[in-house]
Amino acid sequence: MSVKTIAGLELNVSDEGYLEDMTQWNEEIANEIANEIGIELTPKHFEVLNFLRKKTEAKEPLTIRGVGKSGIVNIKELYALFPKGPLKFSSKIAGIPKPTSCI
């Protein structure tokens, strides 16, 4: 665990840069993490991020299949929004822990 300044706030993050406390998250933080990865966030991105956060709050497991069935995006669109890391990058930007799912 380490401390990182994101969007002017000092936040505890994991070694891989995932927020330790998801309640500290805000849209500015999301934008800054996304920039680091090389993704520019659109309203569609935020719909996915909020969906992931809701699922995590409810302690439901995250899978790309679940996101694909959410009605927000299909799996192909999810890959287009978060290239090369549909769950890994989206979780990081959403301020939730690194997903442990294999699917």
Partner 1 sequence: METKNIEEKSQTIEKKPLEKVCIICAKGSIEDVYATLVMANGAVMEGIETNVFFTFFGLDGITKKSMNHLHTATTGNPAMKMPGGLPFPTMLGGLPGVESAVSGMMRKQMEELDIPPVDEFLEMITAGGGTIYACKLAVDMFKLKQEDLSDEVDSIITIGQFYELCDGDRTQIIFT
The structure tokens listed for 26 are 């805000």
Residues 89, 17 contacting (CB under 8 angstroms) = no
| Minimum gap (Å) between residue 69 Cβ and partner 1 | 9
Active site residues: 102
Say whether residue 26 binds partner 1 (CB under 8 A): no
Site for partner 1 in 44-63 (CB under 8 A): 61, 63
Say whether residue 72 binds partner 1 (CB under 8 A): no
The C-alpha atoms of residue 6 and residue 56 are separated, in whole angstroms, by: 21
The residue written with tokens 């993050």 in the block is 13
| Minimum gap (Å) between residue 77 Cβ and partner 1 | 9
The counts of H helices and E strands in the chain are 5, 2
Sites of contact with partner 1 (CB under 8 A):
61, 63-66, 68, 74-76, 79, 83-88, 102-103
